[in-house]
Amino acid sequence: MMRRAIQLGRRWTLSRGMLLVVVLLVLPLARAQNATPPPMPATPTVSTPSIAQSQSPATKVVLPTLPKMPPVEGVEVDRVVAIVNSELILDSDVDRERRFAALLPYGEASGPYSRDEAIERLVNRDLILQQVQLQPGNGVTQEAASEDLDALRKTIPTCKEYHCETQTGWDKFLATEGFTEESLTSLWRQRMEVLAFIELRFRLGIKITPEEIRAYYTKTMLPQYAAQHVAPPPVRTIENRIQEVLLQQRVSKLLDDWLQSLRAQGNVVVLHPGEEAP
């Protein structure tokens, strides 16, 4: 009896232990089944476009624009046409030389205007003026140039219609030629300095002999008179004129040779259209 009770007690203990294991295993599973599952992430809703939307053009993105700046006109740059020992001769200088040549006295601006000859005169003038600056002594003043210009008014034919004998008429005439009295006086002063330098360096040392005068009369002037069927004047009446012509020729020859040597010793560059300054 006692043994049976002990066996029953053991069975109860065993059953009770197994029941506890079952409860421990089944209870979490039951809780897991009864628990509310966590919410799933929402799927984005895709709307079906309407017919009007599907046929409409794609949206154009317009970027903001800056306010328009006012147009700026280009500025014309003065072109370099020649370089004389680092001194520049500009296109505006050539145009000024053209206007200045029209004011020179008779015999100095004969023939049609030539741009190449104008550039050549400017190059030679700069070479001479550079030598003038190296010579000691006083140059021509603005006052002396202004006084010499007063005589020029009487030698310009087109100046008469402006009444250049008056200051108002003279200023008006100069304005039509693109000058002021001050600018023209400066150019005239340079001209006087060049002529004085040539006179001092070349002309004073030149002697024209009577034999040279007669030879020019016989070989040059007599054939010209004969071609025109005109009786020639006696040589004694025109010998002064012949002497002046020969003197100018001799000075021009000496001056040309001297200028060529200055070019060889210095640095003179004449630029043609399309060429750039070095």
Do the domain assignments include residue 226?
yes
pTM strictly above 0.75: no
Do the domain assignments include residue 34?
no
Do the domain assignments include residue 72?
no
The answer to whether 185 touches 145, Cβ cutoff 8 Å, is yes
Q: For the ranges 74-78, 117-121, 249-253, which has the lowest average pLDDT?
A: 74-78
pLDDT at 157: 78
The CATH number of whichever domain residue 103 belongs to comes to 1.10.4030.10
Do the domain assignments include residue 29?
no
Q: Which domain holds residue 223?
A: 80-270
Give 136's pLDDT tier (boundaries 50, 70, 90): confident
More confident of the two residues 112 and 38: 112
Give 4's pLDDT tier (boundaries 50, 70, 90): very low
208-232: per-residue pLDDT in tens?
A: 999 999 999 999 989 988 998 888 8
pLDDT at 125: 95
Domain count across the chain: 1
